[in-house]
Structure 1
Amino acid sequence: MNTKLFVAAVAFAAVVATPANANSVSGPRVEAVIGWDSVSLESQGDDSASGMAYGFGAGYDLAVGGRSAIGIDVEGTNSTSGWNYREDGVRSSLDLTRDLYVGARFTTQVAQDVALYAKVGYTNLGLKLRDKEGNTTTTTTAHADGVRGALGAQYQLNGGAYLGAEYRYSNYEANISRNQVVGTLGWRF
C-alpha cells in the first residue's frame, strides 16, 4: 500500500471519528442516584420531613450540534422521609414509597469533561398511611401526580463512567412539594 494513501486514510478516519468522541453527552446511559430529600405537606401547616433518596435512572440523549443533546430520562427512587404522629391513642405514620419519573432533558458540554443539563417532566409519588390503634393496624396507599424540574452537572471519568450532582424540585397534587440534592454515578454507552 502506498504510504501517502495510508497516511491520508488514517487522517480521514481520525477526522471522521473526532465528532463522535468529542460529544460525550449523547447516547444511552444508566445511573445510580443517592442524596438528600426534603418533603413538605402544606396541608399540614407546612410540615416537612427530611431523609435520604436513593434509586436508579436511565436515559438516552441525541446529539444536536457539536456539544449539545436532547434526551429522555426515566427514574425510579425511594426515600426514607416520612412522618410519625400520635393522637388519642392512635399511632400514625405516613411514609413516602416509590417515586417514578419520566421527562425531557437538554444537555450541553461546557468543558472537555464537564456537561450541564436541565430537565423537566412528570413524576408520580407513592404514599402509605398506617394507623395503629391497639392491636388493629389499617394501611392505606395513595399516589400523587406532579411535575419536576431539575438542574445538574456531570463530570466525565475514564471510559463511559461519570459523576454527577443535581438539584431537583417536584410539586405534586394535594399540596405536596419536594426538594432534593442528589449525586449520581453513571455509565454512558
Structure 2
Amino acid sequence: MRKYLLAALVAGTVAAPAMAQDGRAPFTGPRIGAVVGYDNSQPGSSEDSDVEGDDQSVEGLLYGFDVGYDVNVGSAVIGAEAELTDSTGKVDVESTDPDTFGFGRVAADRDIYVGLRAGFLATPNTLVYAKGGYTNAKYNVLASDGETELDSDFELDGYRVGAGVERSFGNNTYGKIEYRYSNYSEAQFEFADGDETDDIGIDTDRHQVAVGVGIRF
C-alpha cells in the first residue's frame, strides 16, 4: 500500500509543473515573431513642395520581425514591444521645372519601432489591442538634374499608433493582424560623404497593414 501511495505522490509531483505550464494564461511572457504586409508612405496634408509628382505614394511590401513581453492581468493584457522592418517600396519622381532636380527615386528603407500595447480578451484565446510608440525610419533619395546628382539617406523621427487582433494557438504560438499609422515630423539628410543636416520639419504619413506569426517562451 505504501508503495502505491509513494508512486502516486511522485507521479503527482512530476505532473504538477507540466500541468501548471499547460495551464499558463495565454498572452503572457516573452515572444518573438515575423511580420509581413502592405506599406504606404505619402506626404502629409500640411506639406506641398509644388514639384510635379511629389505627392506619389511609396508603396511596397513590409517585412521584418518583432519581439515583446506581455503580462495577462485578468481579462486585460499589457506589454512592451520592439520591431525592425524593411520595405520594398520605391517610386520615381519626375518634374519639368528647370529649377529643381529633373528626376529622382525615393525608396523606403529600414524602420525601427519601440512602444507599448494594451488590450482586452474578447475570448480566452483572442486579444483585441491598441498600440503606440516611437518610430525612426530611413528613406533613400537619388536625384539628378543632368549635371548634379544627389544621393542621400533621409532619416525620419515620429510616432506610431495602431490596433489589432491576436489569436493564441495553444500556449506557445500565435497569429495576429493589425493596422498601423505613423507620422514623421522631423528629419535629417545623411549624405554619402557622412555629412548630415540639422533637424528639419516635415509631414510624412505612413499606413501599414501587417500580419504576423510567432512563438512565446
* TM-score, structure 1 normalization: 0.83
Corresponding position of 2:34: 32
In the alignment, is the contact (CA less than 8 A) between 2:24 and 2:171 conserved in 1? Answer: no
Corresponding position of 1:17: 20
Determine what percentage of the aligned residue pairs are the same residue.
Answer: 32
Q: Which amino acid aligns with 1:69?
A: V
Which structure is higher in strand share?
1
Quote how far apart the aligned CAs of 1:159 are. Answer: 4.9
Q: C-alpha offsets along residues 110-163 of structure 1, whole Å, 9 cap, x if unaligned?
A: 223211221110011112110134486421112111111111111122451111
Q: Distance in 2 between matches of 1:172 and 1:142?
A: 11
Q: Distance in 1 between matches of 2:145 and 2:163?
A: 44
Q: Distance in 2 between matches of 1:52 and 1:172?
A: 20
Q: C-alpha offsets along residues 5-36 of structure 1, whole Å, 9 cap, x if unaligned?
A: x58x949x48x828x83521110001111111
Q: Among 174, 183, 186, which residue is 2:211 paired with?
A: 183
> In terms of Rg, which structure is larger?
2
In the alignment, is the contact (CA less than 8 A) between 1:25 and 1:67 conserved in 2? Answer: no
Q: Among 62, 78, 98, which residue is 1:53 paired with?
A: 62
How many pairs does the alignment contain?
187
Q: Distance in 2 between matches of 1:188 and 1:41?
A: 38
* TM-score, structure 2 normalization: 0.73
Larger mean CA deviation between 88-97 and 146-155 belongs to 88-97
In the alignment, is the contact (CA less than 8 A) between 1:23 and 1:68 conserved in 2? Answer: no
Quote how far apart the aligned CAs of 1:107 are. Answer: 3.4
Do structure 1's residue 105 and structure 2's residue 150 form an aligned pair? no
In the alignment, is the contact (CA less than 8 A) between 2:58 and 2:106 conserved in 1? Answer: no
Equivalent residues in 2 for 1:91-102, closer than 5 Å:
91-102=103-114
In the alignment, is the contact (CA less than 8 A) between 2:120 and 2:128 conserved in 1? Answer: yes
Unaligned runs of 5+ in 1: none
Equivalent residues in 2 for 1:122-161, closer than 5 Å:
122-134=134-146, 137-161=149-173
Give the match's secondary structure for 2:153. Answer: strand
Q: Distance in 1 between matches of 2:210 and 2:31?
A: 17
Q: Among 151, 162, 165, which residue is 2:174 paired with?
A: 162
Query: RMSD between aligned alpha carbons?
Result: 3.0
Q: Among 102, 111, 123, which residue is 1:90 paired with?
A: 102
Q: Among 175, 180, 183, which residue is 1:171 paired with?
A: 183
Unaligned runs of 5+ in 2: 186-201
